[in-house]
Structure 1
Amino acid sequence: MVTIVVEHIFLLVIVTLISVLQNAFFATKVEREGKVQNTKTAAFKRVSCANRNCMDSYPTFLAVMWCAGLCLNQAPAAFAGVIYLVARQKYFVGYMGQTSQSTPGFMFGKRVLTFLILMCVVGIMNFLLMRYIGEEYKGTLEMITSAASTLLLIP
């Protein structure tokens, strides 16, 4: 029984652990910048602000990734999670240079979160259809979301 449960969440767990490591990397960057320079410098303020912005969106990311993975399919949800982490890294690095360089990472991350939210809605609708109408659309919906997850790579 436990093996079956772990099979259904294994990819989501891996992406969550990678995101924790990324958060630790961001915190280390802020700490290093604070020790190297005076905390009043513009570089420290940018790094600190980028870290704070990433941490503000982190609970939303985790909630929608897990909801999408559990309600519909873990593979496209985990893939979208990895893409979101790449976008968040791009945002953070771009924010350290100039704030205008962070816009592409921000916009791409927003698009990934929208995809995950749509996956959640589709998964919940599928459950409600199955529960109250008795028809099973999950196989078709999983195929559509798996195919649609590759569309995230298009700029």
Structure 2
Amino acid sequence: MENVVVENIYLLVVVTLISVLQNAFFALKVERQSLSSAAFERVSCANRNCMDAYPTFLAVMWCGGLCLSQAPAAFAGIIYLVVRQKYFVGYMGQTSQSTPGYLFGKRVLFFLFLMCIIGIFNYLLVRHYGNEYKEYVETITSASSALLLLP
């Protein structure tokens, strides 16, 4: 029984652990800046912005992975972490350099949110109408996760 549960969530767990390491990296960057410099304000603000979106990211990634399919949710989670790194590094330079990372991050979160909605809708269809659409929906979701890479 326990192996079945782990098989269904191990990708989500890996992405979550990578995100924890990334948060530790961001915290170290803030800690290393001197309190009086302008760079400290930018790094601190970038860290705060990343931490504000972090609970939303975790919620939609886990919900999408559990309700629909873990592979596309984990893939989108990795892309989100890369985009968040780009946002953080861009914010350390000039705030205008962080805009592409911010916009792409919103797009990934929206995709994960749609996965949640589709997964819940699919569950309700199966529960109330007995139709099994889950494999079809998972195939479409897996294929559409590659569209996240398009600019």
1:17 counterpart residue number: 17
**Aligned structure 1 segments of 4 or more residues deviating by more than 6 angstroms:** none
Aligned equivalents of 1:13, 1:142: Cα separation in 2: 20
Aligned to 1:108, which of 104, 108, 116?
104
SS of alignment partner, residue 135 of structure 1: coil
1:117-136 Cα offsets, whole Å, 9 max, x none, are 00000000000000011101
Task: Report the TM-score when normalising by structure 1.
Answer: 0.97
Q: Does 1:76 align with 2:82?
A: no
Shift of 1:89: 0.2
Q: CA deviation at 1:40?
A: 2.9
Q: Count residues with an aligned counterpart.
A: 151
Unaligned stretches of 5+ in structure 2? none
Given candidates 125, 129, 150, the residue that maps to 2:125 is 129
* Distance in 2 separating the partners of 1:42 and 1:137: 54
Shift of 1:12: 0.1
1:22-60 Cα distance to aligned partner (Å, 9 max, x none): 000000000001xxx3x1321000000000000000000
Q: Which of 133, 137, 144 is the matching residue for 1:141?
A: 137
Identity over aligned residues, as a percent? 75
| Structure 1: runs of 5+ lacking an equivalent | none
